[in-house]
Chains A and B, each alone.
Chain A
Amino acid sequence: MTAILVVLAGVLGFQLEAMGMLGSAADDAKERPDVIMIDTIARLGELEQSAAVFLHDTHTKALKEQGLDCQSCHKTDDKGNMSLKFKRLEGENQPELTATELKDIYHDGCISCHTETADKNLKTGPMVGECRSCHQEKPEFVADRVDAGMDNVLHYAHWSSKEIPMDAGKDTNCGACHTKQGEEDGWRFDAVNAGKPMSDVYHNQCVTCHQSLAVKKAEKTGPVECASCHGANEVAVIKAKGAKMVREMGGELPRLPRKQPDAVLMMLKRSENEPKPEKATGMAPVAFDHKFHEGAVDTCNACHVKGVNAPMDVSFEAMHDENSDSSCIGCHAKEQQRPECASCHFMRSNEVKPSDASCISCHKPVENGDVLMTASDEAKAAEAALLIAARPEKLQLPALDAIPEFVTIDAMVDKYEASKMPHRKIVLSLADKIKDSGLASTFHATPEALCAGCHHNAPATVTPPKCGSCHAKPFTETDSAKPGLKAAYHGQCMGCHTEMKLEKPAATNCVACHELKK
């Protein structure tokens, strides 16, 4: 009898395990950047087995230890370019392989090497018959990659590198990667690369160069392992090294020597042949400080989304979309999230349309607009430089005695005494924190603009209305979204302190702002 029960239990357990119902490996799957799921023949038909899990870095390391290199798996074509496919060349002049042929390439190629390695008594991969060790239904590794990216710092590391030779007759080495001058981004969008996945294009460009430099035993070269460019930790290390390098150079990255304009006048173009309109059309031109902005962004593509050669999208949306990272307004909105700005700006939802005053900060009307429309680029650039120079350098504030020193808030005295607020001290402190910000100086166009940070939803003035004139009883029928006066005060003050990451006074320290009534 016991025997039967043991057998029953055993059968049940076996059945459950076989049905894969006990435990799920997928939940514990480890994440690595170098995981490649091989499902090459998926495009040719239905897969019989699940995709094979392949760890590229593991293999490059193992091959290196054996003194082997990329050639073990990657063939080179007659031009000397290494194919990124496994043991085959693919492209226009290569024959199309069938599913069976591809399968055989992988099976023979992989398993034979594993068997040889096993013969050498080294750690090896699955061999004949161990199908599910590669074709895992619930893979024990999943891909987790971050984009390697090419920001300005990394770009500087390349264009200032002595390893990359200068172009013939020039003192720049752009041609090493950007083959066609004037179409620097072209190598990405080149017809040669059409239809290829971008990863192949980049890997072909970058990894092969790094590899060849490593072979030549160059002093400094870039990484060839997956994780070194795509692993979160490794990317952080690279960024940290880059930041250190910039600091050592005095905090400013040298400008890319590509003869970019310092100032640009953004306005509608009109060719000479077009008839002069009766009055100037379109928005007033924007004098754009290109030099400043170059240093303020990580990469040119932050604004030149389609590449530095393509014409920029100058639609209203592209320039003004507050939710976009590449529009003027959107990028400025991001800046407003810094603690010293967020103190006032956090309360303003993105939905609130900026006032006309902020439009004029950029779109300054000019008198000779119609002339400028047909002027040369140099003339426009000069005009832009003038306009930029005319902008206020420092933040403007009202006269000191127009800013009340203390404000006594006694409208709601109940359990606590009135609050004596050090108003002037706060205003000056806020102004001090943003005194070096060009964005702040330009956009806080009037002296009263800063006042509107707290005295909101009303025209900016040095004599704003009382808070209680809008914020009265809470939960009123008319506008239940507007807080009552108590919450308005607390929300405003506490919100600002939280955004500015001030530790004192703590939000729960009531008596720091108003004493308890005895």
Chain B
Amino acid sequence: MSVDITAAEKKSLFTPFNIIAGIILIAGLIVTVMRFTGGIGAVTNLDQNNPWGIWIGFDLMCGVALAAGGYTTSAACYVFGLKKFHAGVRPAILTAFLGYALVVFALGYDVGRPWRLPYPLFVSQGTTSLLFEVGLCVMLYLTVLFVEFTPALFEWLGMKKIRNIVVKLTLALTIFGVVLSTLHQSSLGALFTIAPSKLHPLWYSPYLPVFFFVSSIAAGMSMVIFEGTLSHKPMHHLMDAEYLDNHDSLILGFGKAASLVLFGYFAIKMIGLAYDNNWHYLNTGYGAWFMVEMLGFVALPSFLYAIGVRDRNITLIKWAAGLTVLGIIVNRFNISMIAFNYHLPSADRYFPSWGEITISLFVVTIGVCVFRFITTRMPIFYEHPDYKGEH
């Protein structure tokens, strides 16, 4: 099923996608050299007041939030026992694995001495730090995701015995994955609790960890729908009957769940506002932007999801998913860059440089290319004929 089609596809290397991806990859390599010969300052707009930019705000925080599809899908299938999600597990796990791997890759650019990234785990453990928490859990979860991905790899390589052993670990890995995901998703939010004086009161809350965790659930589910939509056309020929049959019911299922989760998220955000009595901030510029984020990117998709599920309108749910993904990006950008350092004069505020944007695009492009490579060769969107029905 797989081999013939890929051979037929290798007509021309210069497809539009390949050209654009190629340009980005080359640009990325150039900036990489600049980064490691000239220092971070040579390629970024980071300064002493703004130590974190889009490499953290987008590559790390959005990357981790949007890769949450891995734990939500595998939990839905294996812990909650909802079999209709089964076909969606492998693509979600692959997306998540690539997502996290690229997060670590992108950190290699942002951090001053990337070869020291293992230090917090193996040399000097700063256990008072929430970043330690994030690092430890991301490292462990990357391992978990990798192990969860290996059955597809082993099936492709024909290593039956070891594949069967790994598959038996699925439930334990899934539970471990949910634990780790809870911890690092929330810790990413908790990072900012250390600087209440720098984050605008509408976004700062001691409940930031809870907000980040809950929104990551909605983010993951929406990303599965979104990425499934994006890959549907180009990868259609790879998708087996189980995947295609369950595609719509997976979307409906996640749509229902996402609607509820977004509603709950909206509610706790409003409760947070009331708890800190921050209503008067709504009457400011930042307040208006906060309402845009809350109403346009949280309340609205929740509403659209609900209608889509009720009317079984798959297209509407897909749009809602896209809106939610955008909303998560807006939220993470707000907390890491827009509402952060709100008290500084506008001359001191941060805006990404071309170098930073290039590397972020570079990282995403690598992800898409590797995803394409793996899904066109390994049993991700279909079941390997030797192992049909053995999940």
Q: Mark B288-319, 1 if CB is under 8 A from A, else 0.
A: 00010001000010010001000000000000
User: Are A21 and B300 interface neighbours, CB within 8 A?
Assistant: no
User: Are A21 and B279 interface neighbours, CB within 8 A?
Assistant: yes
Q: Does A23 contact B (CB under 8 A)?
A: yes
User: Are A5 and B279 interface neighbours, CB within 8 A?
Assistant: no
Give the docked Cα–Cα distance between A376 and B249 (Å).
116
User: Are A1 and B307 interface neighbours, CB within 8 A?
Assistant: yes
Q: Mark B263-295, 1 if CB is under 8 A from A, else 0.
A: 000000000000000011011000000010001
Q: Which residues of B contact A23 (CB under 8 A)?
A: 280, 283
Name the contact of B280 in the complex, choosing from A1, A5, A24 (C-beta under 8 A). Answer: A24
A445 to chain B, nearest CB (A): 57
A23 to chain B, nearest CB (A): 5
Name the contact of A9 in the complex, choosing from B280, B283, B295 (C-beta under 8 A). Answer: B295
Q: Does A146 contact B (CB under 8 A)?
A: no
Q: Which residues of A contact B295 (CB under 8 A)?
A: 5, 8-9
Q: Which residues of B contact A379 (CB under 8 A)?
A: none
> Contacts A1-B307, A5-B295, A9-B295; is A22 near B300 (CB within 8 Å)?
no
B116 to chain A, nearest CB (A): 40
Q: Which residues of B contact A16 (CB under 8 A)?
A: 279, 282-283
Give the docked Cα–Cα distance between A271 and B336 (Å).
86
B61 to chain A, nearest CB (A): 28
Q: List B135-182 residues whose CB lies under 8 Å from chain A.
A: none
User: Are A22 and B303 interface neighbours, CB within 8 A?
Assistant: no
Interface residue count on the B side (C-beta < 8 Å): 9
- Residue of A1, A19, A21 with most chain B CB atoms under a 10 A cut-off: A21
Q: Which residues of A contact B291 (CB under 8 A)?
A: 9
Q: Which residues of A contact B303 (CB under 8 A)?
A: 1, 5
Q: Which residues of B contact A1 (CB under 8 A)?
A: 303, 307
A7 to chain B, nearest CB (A): 12
User: Are A22 and B280 interface neighbours, CB within 8 A?
Assistant: yes
B295 to chain A, nearest CB (A): 7
A-B contact count (CB 8 A): 23
Give the docked Cα–Cα distance between A1 and B307 (Å).
10
Q: Mark B51-83, 1 if CB is under 8 A from A, else 0.
A: 000000000000000000000000000000000
Give the docked Cα–Cα distance between A21 and B274 (Å).
12
B291 to chain A, nearest CB (A): 8
Residue of A nearest to B304 (CB): A1
Q: Mark A1-18, 1 if CB is under 8 A from B, else 0.
A: 100010011000000100
User: Are B307 and A21 interface neighbours, CB within 8 A?
Assistant: no
Q: List A11-51 residues whose CB lies under 8 Å from chain B.
A: 16, 19, 21-24
Q: Mark B9-44, 1 if CB is under 8 A from A, else 0.
A: 000000000000000000000000000000000000
Give the docked Cα–Cα distance between A125 and B74 (Å).
70
Q: Which residues of B contact A19 (CB under 8 A)?
A: 279
Give the docked Cα–Cα distance between A8 and B291 (Å).
12
Name the contact of B282 in the complex, choosing from A8, A22, A24 (C-beta under 8 A). Answer: A22
User: Are B282 and A5 interface neighbours, CB within 8 A?
Assistant: no
Q: List B180-199 residues whose CB lies under 8 Å from chain A.
A: none
Give the docked Cα–Cα distance between A121 and B331 (Å).
56
> Contacts A5-B295, A5-B300; is A22 near B283 (CB within 8 Å)?
yes
Give the docked Cα–Cα distance between A329 and B248 (Å).
93
Give the docked Cα–Cα distance between A8 and B280 (Å).
19
Give the docked Cα–Cα distance between A190 and B307 (Å).
82
Give the docked Cα–Cα distance between A257 and B143 (Å).
101
Q: Which residues of B contact A5 (CB under 8 A)?
A: 295, 300, 303
Give the docked Cα–Cα distance between A22 and B300 (Å).
24
Q: Mark B194-236, 1 if CB is under 8 A from A, else 0.
A: 0000000000000000000000000000000000000000000
A338 to chain B, nearest CB (A): 41
Give the docked Cα–Cα distance between A292 and B283 (Å).
62
Q: Which residues of B contact A24 (CB under 8 A)?
A: 280
Q: Which residues of A contact B279 (CB under 8 A)?
A: 16, 19, 21-22
Give the docked Cα–Cα distance between A94 and B282 (Å).
54
A18 to chain B, nearest CB (A): 12
Residue of A nearest to B296 (CB): A5
Residue of A nearest to B287 (CB): A22
B201 to chain A, nearest CB (A): 14
Residue of A nearest to B277 (CB): A21
B350 to chain A, nearest CB (A): 30
B185 to chain A, nearest CB (A): 29
Give the docked Cα–Cα distance between A9 and B300 (Å).
12
Give the docked Cα–Cα distance between A19 and B280 (Å).
10
Give the docked Cα–Cα distance between A8 and B300 (Å).
11
A4 to chain B, nearest CB (A): 8
Give the docked Cα–Cα distance between A5 and B307 (Å).
14
A489 to chain B, nearest CB (A): 37
B308 to chain A, nearest CB (A): 12
Give the docked Cα–Cα distance between A8 and B270 (Å).
14
Q: Which residues of A contact B300 (CB under 8 A)?
A: 5
Q: Which residues of A contact B283 (CB under 8 A)?
A: 16, 21-23
Q: Mark A453-474, 1 if CB is under 8 A from B, else 0.
A: 0000000000000000000000
Give the docked Cα–Cα distance between A5 and B291 (Å).
12
Give the docked Cα–Cα distance between A22 and B291 (Å).
14
Q: Mark B315-346, 1 if CB is under 8 A from A, else 0.
A: 00000000000000000000000000000000
A430 to chain B, nearest CB (A): 46
Give the docked Cα–Cα distance between A110 and B291 (Å).
44
Give the docked Cα–Cα distance between A21 and B283 (Å).
9
Give the docked Cα–Cα distance between A8 and B307 (Å).
17
B345 to chain A, nearest CB (A): 22
Give the docked Cα–Cα distance between A16 and B274 (Å).
12
Q: Which residues of B contact A22 (CB under 8 A)?
A: 279-280, 282-283
Give the docked Cα–Cα distance between A24 and B303 (Å).
33
Q: Which residues of B contact A21 (CB under 8 A)?
A: 279-280, 282-283
- The contact sample of 23 A-B pairs, CB cut-off 8 A, is A1-B303, A1-B307, A5-B295, A5-B300, A5-B303, A8-B295, A9-B291, A9-B295, A16-B279, A16-B282, A16-B283, A19-B279, A21-B279, A21-B280, A21-B282, A21-B283, A22-B279, A22-B280, A22-B282, A22-B283, A23-B280, A23-B283, A24-B280
Given A1-B303, A22-B282, 9 extra CB contacts under 8 A: A5-B300, A9-B291, A9-B295, A16-B282, A16-B283, A19-B279, A21-B282, A21-B283, A23-B280
Instruction: List 3 tightest A-B contacts by C-beta distance, closest first.
Output: A21-B279, A22-B283, A23-B283
Query: Residues of A with Cβ closer than 8 Å to B?
Result: 1, 5, 8-9, 16, 19, 21-24
